[in-house]
Amino acid sequence: MQDTIARHTISALVDNEAGVLARVIGLFSGRGYNIDSLTVSEVDSANGVSRINIVTTGTPMTIEQIKAQLDRLVPVHRVSDLTVEGPHIERELALLKVRSSGEKRVEALRIADIFKARAVDATDRSFVFEITGSASKIDAFAELMRPLGLVDMSRTGVAAISRGPDEI
């Protein structure tokens, strides 16, 4: 088994009960696993089920452990490692505030256009852009905005789902 560290996106369906998120986070911190991104929201209100998406990094053995440890939590129904279980889609939404004037302001709008980011707020000195895409696309966009006056950013973290007809 090679010990190469890789990035994995893991989704879990959990009972939407008090403390379930704390259980998942405590599991990661207690056992020394990484969390690059974590999102959670109810996806089935009739049955009180939430979905947690976690982006983590680790060796194959660690990733296998993370999956098994998550699955062991009593309120967790199902765990799926989207990265190994076939093609999947990852999306993240970000809001970026850019404060600048003159040339830089024009350049910011031009780059936003290329990235299909929308200006959702504007003043005479600032824009707020909304952008959706993969985490790396958002990283690239933020990098370009930095010299153009990026002052504030808020990201949702990764939502992910498998391609094709099968459910998790």
Partner 1 sequence: MSNNTMTGAEILIKALTDQGVDTIFGYPGGAVLPIYDALFKQNSIRHILVRQEGGAVHAAEGYARSTGKPGVVLVTSGPGATNAVTGLTDALMDSIPVICLTGQVPTHMIGTDAFQECDTTGITRPCTKHNYLVKDAGDLARVVHEGFYVATNGRPGPVVIDIPKDVQINRAEYTAPEKVRHKTYRPRVKGDLEKIREAVEMIAQAERPVFYTGGGIINAGPKASSLLTQFVRMTGYPITNTLMGLGGYPASDRQFLGMLGMHGSYEANWAMHDCDVMICIGARFDDRVTGRLDAFSPKSKKIHIDIDPSSINKNIRVDLPIIGDAAHILEDMIRIWKAGARQVDPARIEPWWRQIDIWRARNSFGYEKTDKLIKPQRAVEALYEKTKDRDPYITTEVGQHQMWAAQLFKFENPNRWMTSGGLGTMGYGLPAAMGAQIAHPDKLVIDIAGEASIMMNIQEMSTLAQYKLPVKIFILNNQWMGMVRQWQELMHGKRYSESYVESLPDFVKLAESFGAVGLRAETPDEMDSLIDEMIAVDRPVIADVRVDPTENVYPMVPSGAAHNEMILGSESGASEVPQATDEGLALV
- Binds partner 1 by CB under 8 A, chosen from 34, 57, 69, 83: 69
Stretch that binds partner 1, among 34-42, 59-67, 111-119, 160-168 (CB under 8 A): 59-67
Q: Which of 3, 19, 32, 114 binds partner 1 (CB under 8 A)?
A: 19
| Contact indicator for 44, 59 with CB cutoff of 8 Å | no
In this chain, which stretch among 3-11, 63-71, 85-93, 101-109 interacts with partner 1, using CB under 8 A?
63-71
Q: In this complex, which beta carbon is closest to partner 1, that of residue 74 or of residue 114?
A: 74
CB-nearer residue toward partner 1: 34 or 132: 34
Three-state secondary structure readout of the chain: CCCCCEEEEEEEEEECCCCHHHHHHHHHHHCCCCCCEEEEEEEECCCCEEEEEEEEEECHHHHHHHHHHHHHCCCEEEEEECCCCCCEEEEEEEEEEEECCCHHHHHHHHHHHHCCCEEEEECCCEEEEEEEECHHHHHHHHHHHHHHCEEEEEECCCEEEECCCCCC
Q: How far is CA 37 from the centre of its chain?
A: 5
Site string for partner 1, 114-153 (x = CB under 8 A): ----------------------------------------
Nearest CB to partner 1, comparing residues 30 and 165:
30
Among residues 3, 18, 87, 164, the one that binds partner 1 under rule CB under 8 A: 18
Q: Is 32 in the site for partner 1 (CB under 8 A)?
A: no
Judged by the rule CB under 8 A, the positions of this chain that interact with partner 1 are 1, 15, 18-19, 22-23, 26, 30, 61, 64-65, 68-69, 71-72, 74-77
